[in-house]
Structure 1
Amino acid sequence: MNSVFKISPLSALLLFVAAVSMPSGEVLAKEIVLGASVQLTGPVANTGRYYRDAYQLAVDRVNAAGGVKIGNESYKLALKLYDNQSDVNLSVRQYTQLVSQDKVDFLLGPFASNFALADSAVSEKYRIPMVQGGGASDQIFSRGFKYIFGTLAPASNYFGSTIEMLKGLDPAPKSVALLYADDAFDVSVAEGTRPKLKEAGLTMVMDERYSTNATDFSSLLSQIKSKNIDAVLVAGHETEILNFVRQAKSLAVAPKMYSFTVGVPSEDFRKALGKDADYAFGMTAWLPSADLKDRWFGDAAQFAAVYKAKFGYYPDYHAASGVADVEALVQAAEIAGSTDPAKVRDALSKVKFESLYGPVAFNENGQIDLPQTVIQVQGDRLVAIYGGNGKIAPPKYPMPAWDVR
């Protein structure tokens, strides 16, 4: 028995209008999908948000400027983002899903070196380029991988500018303590710091590793006090540094200076400590200077203003490096004239451009090398103290005892 479906004249007209109104496949915007797994919950979510927000802002900005130009075609960027919940094993599974199931074109990185170390194995296995500004450990780039690129300077040189500054302090510190967490980034920092201290003629009287996410620093602080150590260098995570400073105050431990790899550039860190953040030294590869010109944002100062207006908090170098990650992939795709992962990977190895983060050019192992600027909290200001070209501003040194501040 044959069934006959009758369409009314009105229905036929509506179907015709819908058909001619739909754009053809050639007219639809083509997409380049960037995939990432970022810490949006869990212990390091406060830093993970920098990457989520920076990635999205950069994607929106590129699209607003006409997208990615490949040959005679324009491609729209899209972002596929997962929350790894600060779990490195979940992060690896999510990156595997991004490339094997979601079929993203390229990868952006997570935060933290131990995550980047594990997740980059996925990009290497599937031969999908990953550009990441969240992991600086030298271990990430020492394995001969071809598909991982990083926009943070090598962890082994993080205290390089600080040590140069130490040599010029008056009075010069006679003893130094090096404390570091037991993860990939902080171990690399320590490995690079030891020979630099020796070359600078500085005496290291403490060299102590502590457990990641440690909350009790009383034993280490007691040693610092009993040995009358002048300068304390700490490589750790922001929550650890907060605990360290609070306990230093409660135990009345006040060396001539202390410097931290993280925390000091962050507005949240300084708000959390209030006046107790005063005198703390830190480092950053980026400050929102109008001298850093950019194709999409104008300059770094304009970027910082846009970022603050959109997200309600100020960006630091994590956010700036995240934007540079997106821009590097866009530049490479345009240079390659293709979205083919191998061709874009080859273009990344040769890319060279000015960004709001600074000059981006990857060396043979896939990492860039930007000098760290020493910064210090001075009252309600964050002041640049020492950079690649030497002294910038006078430091507040030595740090006074807690009870006379």
Structure 2
Amino acid sequence: MSNSRFSVAGAILAAAIVLGWSTAVSAADIVLGASVQLTGPSANTGRYYKDAYEFAIDKINEAGGVTVGGEKRKLALKLYDNQSDVNLSVRQYTQLVSKDKVDLLLGPFASNFALADSAVSEKYQIPMVQGGGASDQIFSRKFKYIFGTLAPASNYFGTTVKMLKELDPAPKSIALLYADDAFDVSVAEGTRPLLKDAGLSIAIDEKYSSNASDFNSLLSQIKSNGTDVVLMAGHETEILNFVRQAKSLAVAPKLYSFTVGVPSEDFRKALGADAEYAFGMAAWLPSADLKDRWFGDAAAFAKDYKAKFGYDPDYHAASGVADVEALAQAIENAGDTDPAKVRDALANLKLDSLYGPLAFGENGQIDLPQIVIQVQGDAIAPIYGAKGFVGKPKYPMPAWNAR
């Protein structure tokens, strides 16, 4: 056997080994299928979805399962590890629907994965509910079988831009940095007109390669231009590198804000005190005001999740749970597991969940406003929401040698 054939065989074997069921499965169970990143570069975030899917399914089953035509039926999860490989993910979703014959689909993490994998659900007309991809491209193709619980990427910085207009001293110049993948390009395309309408000048508008590790050139531009604000759409590893290099080069704009990382406990642990002052955003915070049929409320969910998995849930976990809940409620509303009937029930869904109110737009995506958050001490603080300031920002950010 040649080395290349051996590598392919090994990859297939590895995928088969990690394929598994969340619980013992009976013929009457409703099987949800998913492929997520359990290994590879995206595994740290991919685990949120595995844990969230399993947690939600267990909770629903503990309550008796899903009522279908007057009969209680349990949910089951069949899961693959896509190894952070989008091509493998597409093959696994194809296997889930064509060979494994799962009933319905849950999504992967990341927009480029959801963009590719949703083509499988559309081809086979099996609904997929996913809370891992927000790119506008996913929902611009007039697909009927993809539903998303993340707000449009094009408006991720929408609340942040509103906040910038109210800060004192008012920022004047902006650096817009973004990775070259589907999500981050959508963020940048949506943010440019928001900044223009707010009267804010874009001093630097730069796309960089995904998984970039060297930001010294961009940081030098930011320093030499005296840029007030950095808005960065990227991946957590890139943002960690950016902050570390900003410190080493003594680059401290008045404010920087990132699309990912800040809500995560891992981000704050990785940077320690250097995470202080970083702004970010979250579609969800664990409020007791968010009532939920299965978990009681979002605060109770967060407490139970931390006890079970040993880390705090962020919006990735909450959106993953919401994906399962949306399918469960849609099945009950349809009174059937027929994919077309569940699809129609999802399109008309109105559900109060621990994640917030779930109601999909005509394109299949919800639109929850982002909450601006900031690292303050060893925690995150909500700063600005749909109705304005809800907390006091630490602004402007001091120089690194003045902390």
What band does the TM-score fall into relative to the shorter chain?
A: over 0.9
Matched to 1:276, the amino acid is D
CA distance in 2, matches of 1:190, 1:29: 47
In structure 2, what is the equivalent of residue 108 of structure 1? 106
Matched to 1:245, the amino acid is V
> Structure 1, residues 180-223: CA drift from partner, whole Å, max 9, x if none?
00000000000000000000000111100000000000000000
Deviation at 1:29, TM superposition (A): 6.8
Query: Retained in 2: the 8 A contact 1:178–1:233?
Result: yes
In structure 2, what is the equivalent of residue 192 of structure 1? 190
CA distance in 2, matches of 1:311, 1:381: 19
Matched to 1:257, the amino acid is L
CA distance in 2, matches of 1:380, 1:212: 28
Q: Secondary structure at the match of 1:30?
A: coil
In structure 2, what is the equivalent of residue 86 of structure 1? 84
CA distance in 2, matches of 1:141, 1:65: 33
Q: How does 1:67-78 map to 2 (within 5 A)?
A: 67-78=65-76
Matched to 1:322, the amino acid is G
- Scaled by the length of structure 1, the TM-score of the pair is 0.93
In structure 1, what is the equivalent of residue 140 of structure 2? 142
In structure 2, what is the equivalent of residue 238 of structure 1? 236
In structure 2, what is the equivalent of residue 6 of structure 1? none
Q: Residue 282 in 1 paired to residue 289 in 2?
A: no
Evaluate the alpha carbon distance shift between residue 262 and residue 47 of structure 1 in structure 2; reply closer, same or farther with a 3 A threshold: same
CA distance in 2, matches of 1:359, 1:35: 24
For residue 256 of structure 1, the aligned residue among 254, 257, 268 is 254
For residue 402 of structure 2, the aligned residue among 388, 392, 404 is 404
In structure 2, what is the equivalent of residue 39 of structure 1? 37
Q: Residue 348 in 1 paired to residue 368 in 2?
A: no
Deviation at 1:257, TM superposition (A): 0.5
Query: Retained in 2: the 8 A contact 1:30–1:74?
Result: no
Q: Secondary structure at the match of 2:74?
A: strand
CA distance in 1, matches of 2:398, 2:149: 36
Deviation at 1:381, TM superposition (A): 2.3
Query: Retained in 2: the 8 A contact 1:29–1:76?
Result: no
In structure 2, what is the equivalent of residue 375 of structure 1? 373
Deviation at 1:380, TM superposition (A): 1.7
CA RMSD of aligned residues (A): 0.6
CA distance in 1, matches of 2:111, 2:305: 25
Deviation at 1:377, TM superposition (A): 0.4
Query: Retained in 2: the 8 A contact 1:29–1:74?
Result: no
Q: Secondary structure at the match of 2:239?
A: helix
For residue 393 of structure 1, the aligned residue among 391, 394, 402 is 391
Matched to 1:194, the amino acid is R
For residue 129 of structure 1, the aligned residue among 103, 127, 136 is 127
Query: Retained in 2: the 8 A contact 1:180–1:234?
Result: yes
Structure 1 runs of 4+ off > 4 angstroms? none
Deviation at 1:30, TM superposition (A): 1.5
Gaps of 5+ in 2: 1-25
Q: Secondary structure at the match of 2:193?
A: helix
CA distance in 1, matches of 2:242, 2:308: 32
Deviation at 1:167, TM superposition (A): 0.4
Query: Retained in 2: the 8 A contact 1:160–1:196?
Result: yes
In structure 2, what is the equivalent of residue 59 of structure 1? 57
Matched to 1:241, the amino acid is I
Query: Retained in 2: the 8 A contact 1:186–1:236?
Result: yes
CA distance in 1, matches of 2:245, 2:27: 56
Q: Secondary structure at the match of 1:386?
A: strand
Q: How does 1:151-170 map to 2 (within 5 A)?
A: 151-170=149-168
CA distance in 2, matches of 1:348, 1:168: 38
CA distance in 2, matches of 1:278, 1:80: 40
> Structure 1, residues 13-61: CA drift from partner, whole Å, max 9, x if none?
xxxxxxxxxxxxxxx7721000000000000100000000000000000
> Structure 1, residues 261-301: CA drift from partner, whole Å, max 9, x if none?
00000000000000000000000000000000000000000
Q: How does 1:216-231 map to 2 (within 5 A)?
A: 216-231=214-229
CA distance in 2, matches of 1:102, 1:117: 22
Q: Secondary structure at the match of 2:142?
A: coil
Q: Secondary structure at the match of 2:299?
A: helix
Matched to 2:60, the amino acid is V
In structure 2, what is the equivalent of residue 209 of structure 1? 207
CA distance in 2, matches of 1:135, 1:38: 12
Query: Retained in 2: the 8 A contact 1:332–1:348?
Result: yes
CA distance in 2, matches of 1:29, 1:207: 55
> Structure 1, residues 295-326: CA drift from partner, whole Å, max 9, x if none?
00000000001100000000000000000000
In structure 2, what is the equivalent of residue 16 of structure 1? none
For residue 289 of structure 2, the aligned residue among 278, 291, 297 is 291
How many pairs are equivalent? Answer: 378
Query: Retained in 2: the 8 A contact 1:157–1:192?
Result: yes
CA distance in 2, matches of 1:379, 1:327: 34
Q: Secondary structure at the match of 1:59?
A: helix
CA distance in 2, matches of 1:219, 1:36: 40
In structure 1, what is the equivalent of residue 10 of structure 2? none
CA distance in 1, matches of 2:291, 2:58: 19
Q: Residue 306 in 1 paired to residue 295 in 2?
A: no
Matched to 1:233, the amino acid is L
Deviation at 1:159, TM superposition (A): 0.1
Q: Secondary structure at the match of 1:233?
A: strand
